A = this chain, B = another copy of it.
Amino acid sequence: MRYRKIPDEAVRRLPVYLRAALHLSGRGIECTSSQGLADFIGVEPWQIRKDFSYFGDFGVPGVGYNLSRLIKHVNRILRLDTGPKAALVGVGNLGTALLTFPGFRMYGLEIAAAFDIDKRKIGRRKAGVLIEDVAALSDLRTRGIDLGIVAVPEATSQQVIDALAQAGIKGILNFSPRHVVVPRGMKVITIDIAMDLARLPYYVPAG
């Protein structure tokens, strides 16, 4: 493999490949081809080979990919091998759903702290996680937390992100659709649920 710029889209797909590898590995399969992975995911095999090629040699020509090796490799690339911990801010309906969300576990991700502004929630536990006062949010890195999940009303998302930045957080999964300004070096991935539902009718024939 020679160096070249890694497409963002290739990075975005790595977790998908990782999930497929984990699934197939869980079924007792040790080795599979790009075709085997592609069929599972519903993409084309050269897409997978191309994406992997940006990160090094994953497979063996004529044979395929050893799944446990692939899993280890992708886990390291995505920095999931250290079991990243996230702090959730906003324990409303969406926040609660995220606390109990089963999908994080397979990636080794964990919500290790939760914060809210509501005095009635503070001090209680939800899904085993203590809800703390968002006003006391500070220094999360010393607690081994370096990701943030923002599930607050959009009016407060900017100040929450500022507070998370102050607490040393460099990566945020943001469910608020409002534009936020972030310090240099911070990465924000926004999930805009309403936007995604709102563009759906465009594709649906009028009726």
Contacts and interface: CB of A to CB of B under 8 A. Distances in A.
Interface string A179-207: 11100010101011111111111111111
A200 B79 CA distance: 9
Interface in A144-183: 146-147, 149, 153, 170-173, 177, 179-181
A77 interface: yes
A107 to B, nearest CB: 4
- Name the interface size band of chain A: 35 or more
A29 interface: no
B179 A200 contact: no
A201 B84 contact: yes
Contacts of A199: 11-12, 14-15, 78, 189
A112 interface: no
A93 B101 contact: yes
A100 interface: yes
A26 interface: no
Nearest to A190: B196
A109 interface: yes
A28 interface: no
Interface of A: 11-12, 14-16, 18-19, 40-42, 77-80, 84, 86, 92-94, 96-98, 100-104, 106-107, 109, 141, 146-147, 149, 153, 170-173, 177, 179-181, 185, 187, 189, 191-207
27 contacts: A11-B202, A12-B195, A12-B199, A19-B195, A41-B179, A42-B179, A42-B180, A42-B181, A79-B206, A80-B198, A80-B201, A86-B197, A92-B97, A93-B96, A93-B100, A93-B101, A103-B194, A104-B197, A106-B194, A109-B197, A146-B207, A170-B203, A173-B193, A173-B197, A189-B199, A189-B200, A191-B191
